[in-house]
């Protein structure tokens, strides 16, 4: 079971890191557009569409990554006080009742939207550039599949936690500065 969980988690972390480069592309394109629009007085017709597509791609593909890193926002003021076994039971029920039906709908309807978009070779009607958007609409069902795979890995984590009353460790990746400072403080307390 560990191998299955870590393989799926590794895939989603890799995809999240790869699509994280969209942030750099977005930053450069916004900077370029601001410069040419306000300094050179020569705005582009393509930049807004590209920024919308990059943001959409980043948003869709960050979902599986965030789930793999347990980084989604959660109102856990009571949940965190529970034993891991109880947390796992709650998570299991919520995944089965809400997560999987929602992700199945994302995949199903996203696949229909993407197929129609490919069939018509859909372009953006919001811009004179008329950029092709069917490539980006393909990411909707892809995100659904990756989220369902990660959901299956999370279900395995829940089953393990229900048996052992302890959560499996996650693959480590980047951490927030405040979390690094807290861990550093914990290490200093242990050494003192």
The tens digit of pLDDT for each residue in 64-85 reads 999 998 888 777 788 888 999 9
Residue 103 CB: number of other CB atoms within 10 A? 24
Q: For 95-103, which contacts have Cβ atoms below 8 Å and span 24 or more sequence positions? A: 95/151, 95/154, 95/155, 95/158, 96/155, 99/151, 100/148, 100/151, 103/144, 103/147, 103/148, 103/151
Q: Supply the pLDDT for residue 45.
A: 80
pLDDT at 174 over 80: no
Average pLDDT, the chain: 89
Confidence of residue 15 (pLDDT cuts 50, 70, 90): very high
pLDDT for residue 145: 97
Percent of the chain with pLDDT over 70: 99
pLDDT value, residue 62: 92
């Amino acid at each position: 079971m560990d191998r299955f969980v870590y393989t799926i988690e590794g895939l989603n972390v890799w995809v999240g890191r790869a699509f994280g480069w969209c942030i750099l592309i977005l930053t450069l394109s916004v900077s370029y557009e601001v410069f040419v629009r306000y300094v050179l007085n020569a705005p582009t017709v393509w930049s807004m569409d590209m920024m919308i597509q990059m943001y959409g791609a980043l948003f869709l593909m960050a979902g599986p990554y965030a789930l793999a890193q347990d980084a989604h926002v959660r109102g856990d003021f009571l949940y965190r006080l529970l034993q891991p076994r109880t947390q796992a039971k709650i998570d299991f029920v919520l995944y089965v009742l809400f997560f999987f039906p929602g992700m199945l709908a994302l995949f199903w309807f996203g696949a229909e939207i993407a197929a129609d978009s490919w069939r018509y070779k859909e372009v953006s009607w919001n811009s004179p550039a008329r950029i092709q958007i069917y490539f980006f609409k393909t990411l909707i069902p892809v995100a659904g599949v990756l989220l369902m795979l990660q959901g299956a890995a999370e279900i395995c984590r829940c089953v393990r936690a229900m048996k052992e009353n302890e959560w499996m460790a996650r693959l480590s990746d980047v951490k927030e500065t405040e979390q690094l400072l807290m861990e550093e403080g914990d290490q200093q307390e242990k050494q003192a």
